[in-house]
Amino acid sequence: METQAETLNKAEIAAISRRIKRPVVLVGLMGVGKSTVGRKLAELTDRTFVDADTAIEDAAQLSVSEIFKTYGEAVFRDGERRVIARLIEERHGVIATGGGAFVDPETRALILDKAIGVWIDCDIATLVERTSRRKTRPLLNQGDPAETLERLHRERAPFYEQAPVRIVSMNGPHIQTATMILEAIDRWL
């Protein structure tokens, strides 16, 4: 049985990678796999990978949850935008963003202008299962996670849809989603 990952060979991956002249910025709801798929995509394309939330935590010396709790979402989003701008400027190959980053108009404009925005979408049931593994997601710490994720998807989809590339993540090997992203970027380029 041929898998999606087998549809591109090393030469094809290298050819697509050479055409990518800007950082690839992954956007989408928490739990879609931006970080795990991002690492695999960076490995496939021989590029660097950075998780924007990790970079924010390193810069602030606080966790994302602590920043939200202490300073609020507006302060977090401002810092997030500055960190993402720096990461793009540093020319990181693949950047995973937090779920709300692309909703911010300035951050979205920055990504659309200076990077290739890729929306990783996913069904809510899969997101609930994936996000239940960690209790460090501030927006899921109150109420029913499925209802929260459905609401966030509804609210954020109009923003995510502005990304020029969209793929739907499913349960399966990360290489499959990474390859789908490469194929979608290839079609978009």
As a whole number, mean pLDDT of residues 36-45 equals 96
**pLDDT at 137 > cutoff 60:** no
> Is residue 179 one of the residues assigned to a domain?
yes
Q: What percent of the chain has pLDDT over 90?
A: 73
Supply the range of the domain harboring residue 126.
22-184
As a whole number, mean pLDDT of residues 70-77 equals 91
> Is residue 14 one of the residues assigned to a domain?
no
> Is residue 122 one of the residues assigned to a domain?
yes
**pLDDT at 41 > cutoff 60:** yes
- Is residue 52 a contact partner of residue 96, using CB atoms and an 8 Å limit? yes
Task: Name the average pLDDT for the chain.
Answer: 90
> Is residue 189 one of the residues assigned to a domain?
no
Burial of residue 61, with CB atoms counted within 10 A of its CB: 0-12 exposed, 13-18 middle, 19 or more buried: exposed
Query: In Å, how far from its chain's centre is CA 95?
Result: 7
Confidence of residue 65 (pLDDT cuts 50, 70, 90): confident
> Is residue 124 one of the residues assigned to a domain?
yes
> Is residue 15 one of the residues assigned to a domain?
no
pLDDT digits (tens, 9 = 90+) for 3-40: 444 578 999 999 999 999 999 999 999 889 999 999 99
Residue type, 50: V
Confidence of residue 144 (pLDDT cuts 50, 70, 90): confident
CATH code of the domain in which 48 resides: 3.40.50.300
User: What pLDDT, on a 0 to 100 scale, did the predictor assign at position 138?
Assistant: 53
User: What pLDDT, on a 0 to 100 scale, did the predictor assign at position 127?
Assistant: 87
The whole-angstrom separation of Cα 57 and Cα 60 is: 5
**pLDDT at 177 > cutoff 80:** yes
**Distance (Å) of CA 52 to CA 76, 101, 173:** 12, 9, 23
> Is residue 116 one of the residues assigned to a domain?
yes
Residue with tokens 């950075």: 50
> Is residue 12 one of the residues assigned to a domain?
no
User: What pLDDT, on a 0 to 100 scale, did the predictor assign at position 4?
Assistant: 43
- Is residue 26 a contact partner of residue 178, using CB atoms and an 8 Å limit? no
The whole-angstrom separation of Cα 107 and Cα 73 is: 14
Domain count within the chain = 1
Burial of residue 125, with CB atoms counted within 10 A of its CB: 0-12 exposed, 13-18 middle, 19 or more buried: exposed
The whole-angstrom separation of Cα 95 and Cα 55 is: 10
As a whole number, mean pLDDT of residues 136-142 equals 58
